Structure 1
Amino acid sequence: MSAILPPQQRIWWKQPVDKVELIWITIAFVWCMVMFFMMPYWHVYGGQNLSPETYRVKPELFQRATQEMVDKYTVRTETDEKIPVVAPPAGSDIFLIARLWSFWPILELKKDETYRLHLTAMDYQHGFSLQPENINVQILPGYEHVITIKPNRSGTYAIVCNEFCGIGHHKMVTRLYVKD
């Protein structure tokens, strides 16, 4: 049979399947099943996928809770915009706001301590990408995303918006400090 000429029988699915095609179909099916069952396995036993809680939230209430945290735990300010750096105690709830085109405030956490990170967007859809750890969360306005985190290495991490949010999207980066 030629690819240029039409098949002799117009009902192609009644043609016999070649042995080589059956082998490739079988390999592809087996690989799909392996990947299908590995996804829940990685989620439960891999310890690498987040299971965020998500709640409806009014922006003004979330902003008030974030401001209370900033008023209580600010240790210094950074950047030309005087963004506060907050160092909340271990085990506390910490809040991070995404808005055009910044994250607020900057967080300073302690190594090997557990925190509940609350995220929301005030205006448009944004992304939360913690690099180089490759933790990614899609942040939507009107929803509070809660993630339990436990930093296990000290250093300075980058938080980047990975959802296109407009003309200033490329400037939407901040830092996260993890101290010993």
Structure 2
Amino acid sequence: MSAILPPSERLWWKHPLDRLEAIWIAIAFIWCMVMFFMMVFWHVYGKQNLSTETYKVDVGQFTERTQAFVDKYTVRTETEQEVPVVAPPEGEDIYLIGRLWNWWPILELEKGKTYKLHMTSMDYNHGFSLQPNNINIQVVPGYEHVIKITPNESGMYSIVCNEFCGIGHHEMVGRLYVK
């Protein structure tokens, strides 16, 4: 018999299973189950994945909420485009918009305080990647993604779009400050 040619009998599943073949199938099945339960274990106990809430949202209403948030808590502007830097108090809902080709506004948070971050995209899929912490979220237009964050280290963090979103994708970098 050749591995290149089709089997002489078409009902191959009715043939007895070789002992070595059965051992390898059992090993593969056990390994799949171990990997499956490890995913659940790391999600619950390892705190490796973010538990996000996602809601369908009207982008116009989300823009209004974000603008009200920016108007209320702006402390200064930065960059050539004069992007507002927003410093909300602890426990406040904070808003971030991804759009061609920037993250708006710049957030300034306090170390050890908890915030609810609401994000959406105005146009295309964007990837929210907080560097150097390796937090990754797919931000989809028409959906509001909500995560609880508690910064534990001071510094400046970059928010990078890691989902190709067009010709200006390489310039889509935002900032997050932690005091």
Normalising by structure 1, we get a TM-score of 0.90
> Alpha-carbon deviation of 1:147?
0.7
Match of 2:7 in 1: 7
1:79-100 per-position Cα deviation (integer Å, ceiling 9, x unaligned): 2111111111111111000111
> Alpha-carbon deviation of 1:104?
0.2
Match of 2:68 in 1: 68
Q: Secondary structure at the match of 2:26?
A: helix
2-structure distance, mates of 1:147, 1:132:
18
Q: 1:42 is aligned with what amino acid?
A: W
Match of 1:129 in 2: 129
CA 77–26 in structure 1, closer or farther in 2 if over 3 Å, else same: same
Structure 1, unaligned stretches of length 5 or more?
A: none
2-structure distance, mates of 1:64, 1:106:
17
> Alpha-carbon deviation of 1:176?
1.2
CA 139–10 in structure 1, closer or farther in 2 if over 3 Å, else same: same
1-structure distance, mates of 2:167, 2:16:
56
Q: 1:39 is aligned with what amino acid?
A: M
Which aligned segments of 4 or more residues in structure 1 are displaced greater than 6 angstroms?
none
Q: Secondary structure at the match of 1:177?
A: strand
Say what the alpha-carbon RMSD is for the aligned residues: 1.7
Q: 2:35 is aligned with what amino acid?
A: M
Match of 1:170 in 2: 170
> Alpha-carbon deviation of 1:16?
3.0
- Number of equivalences: 179
CA 6–62 in structure 1, closer or farther in 2 if over 3 Å, else same: closer
CA 52–16 in structure 1, closer or farther in 2 if over 3 Å, else same: same
Match of 1:84 in 2: 84
> Alpha-carbon deviation of 1:21?
1.9
Percent identity between the two aligned chains: 71
Q: 1:107 is aligned with what amino acid?
A: L
Match of 2:145 in 1: 145
Out of 31-40 and 99-108, give the one that drifted further.
Answer: 31-40
1:88-128 per-position Cα deviation (integer Å, ceiling 9, x unaligned): 11111110001111110011111111000010111122221
CA 11–106 in structure 1, closer or farther in 2 if over 3 Å, else same: same
1:33-78 per-position Cα deviation (integer Å, ceiling 9, x unaligned): 1122222222222222222122222222211221122222222222
